[in-house]
Amino acid sequence: MKILVLNGPNLNMLGIREPDIYGRETYASLIEKITEHCKAKQLDVDCRQSNHEGDLVDWIQEAYGSFDGIVINPGAYTHTSVAILDALKAVSVPTVEVHISDVDSREEFRRTSYLRAACIATISGRGTDGYLEAVDLLAKRSGK
Ligand code: DQA
């Protein structure tokens, strides 16, 4: 099974950005953690990060026919991007939305997710372990 892990804007700043909210773990160590987890489960994983909405749309389109599942933390695009919603609907690759923080207990504007409608699940407020839970959910769903 091949899983694409996408991180949106400012997630490359993990460990530096608002550590009280997002923790002290860096982006590099998050990727290492996901990679190790997938290796142990014999899952292929490709992790990418961009601060640009169009890159995320391009990568979702690329997933069509080449990945079996997507884990996405779209960062602030969660609350604004119809383009990401449409891309996910276009490819129909099973997708899990992840947020490190508990978006529902923060500012009002963070409660809206444009892409939730195109996802099989949302994992929020579980810290970086949420990415591993998302991977496990996709693997379980595909019978792996
Ligand atoms: C986030 C929550 C978003 O509201 C925020 O814009 C982020 C990170 C999270 O992981 O908790 O950049 O997606």
- CATH (domain of 67): 3.40.50.9100
Q: How many CA atoms lie within 13 A of 53 on its CB side?
A: 12
Asked if residue 106 has pLDDT above 90, the reply is yes
Q: Return the DSSP state at 56.
A: H
12 lines ligand 1 (CB under 6 A): no
Q: How does residue 143 score in pLDDT terms, banded at 50, 70 and 90?
A: confident
Question: What separation in angstroms does the CA of 106 have from each of 46, 76, 103, 119, 122?
Answer: 30, 13, 5, 21, 16
Residue 112 falls inside a structural domain: no
Q: What is the pTM of this model?
A: 0.97
78 lines ligand 1 (CB under 6 A): yes
By C-alpha distance, which of 138, 108, 143 is closest to 123? 138
Q: Are 35 and 45 in contact (CB under 8 A)?
A: yes
Asked if residue 144 has pLDDT above 70, the reply is no
CA of 22 to the centre of ligand 1 (A): 8
Q: How does residue 20 score in pLDDT terms, banded at 50, 70 and 90?
A: very high
Give the pLDDT mean for 37-60.
98
Residue 102 falls inside a structural domain: yes
Q: In total, how many domains does the chain have?
A: 1
Asked if residue 47 has pLDDT above 90, the reply is yes
Residue ranges making up the domain that contains 74: 2-107+119-142
- Name the residue with tokens 């500012």: 107
